[in-house]
Amino acid sequence: MNPTLQTHNYLLRFSIKPSVQRTAVMEFLLNNRIHPTIDEIYLALSPNMPTLSKTTVYNTLDLFVEKGAVRALVIDEKNARYDVDTSAHAHFMCNSCGKVHDIFNVNPMFFQLPESDKFKIQTVEISYSGICNECQGN
């Protein structure tokens, strides 16, 4: 099974009709777990898809989020970032280089939604920041 067909099926599992553009975006997300911004996705794909529009990348990611195939991260005040891994895990952003990394060794309890009579709590996001090793020459 070639990778594109695999991605096709992946999209179908989320009830997303797999167009060429959607498949390309999803394939990029699956193969590049870097929590990319819209711009990074667009810049990565446009050389091989010269007609690709940035608007399409926006629309595609909105759709992926709506269908639950992707999580939008609110950790970088500059840009929205997207993560294909929707399982419970936290993120770290380096304040120097701006890269976002996964943090998996976080107690799963932390992702339980707290009880509240004031709010119907639906999502959690646990975000860390600091400096990555590359940025402190270590």
Partner DNA sequence: TTCTTATTAATACTCATTACAATATTGTAT
Partner DNA sequence: ATACAATATTGTAATGAGTATTAATAAGAA
Q: Say which residue the tokens 């932390």 belong to.
A: 110
Q: How far is the CB of 11 from DNA (least distance, A)?
A: 11
Q: Which of residues 88-127 bind DNA (CB under 7 A)?
A: none
Q: Which of 36, 43, 27 is nearest to 82 (CA)?
A: 36
CA–CA separation, 13 vs 65, rounded Å?
14
Q: Which does 123 bind (CB under 5 to 8 A by kind): a second copy, DNA, none?
A: a second copy
* Residue 51 interacting with DNA (CB under 7 A): yes
Cα separation of 136 and 114, whole Å? Answer: 36
Nearer to a second copy, 49 or 63 (CB): 63
Contact string 2-21 vs DNA (x = CB under 7 A): ---------------x-xxx
59 phi and psi angles, rounded to 5 deg: -60, -40
User: Strand, helix or coil at 24?
Assistant: helix
Nearer to a second copy, 51 or 116 (CB): 116
Q: Which residues bind DNA (CB under 7 A)?
A: 17, 19-22, 37-39, 49, 51-56, 58-60, 62, 77-80
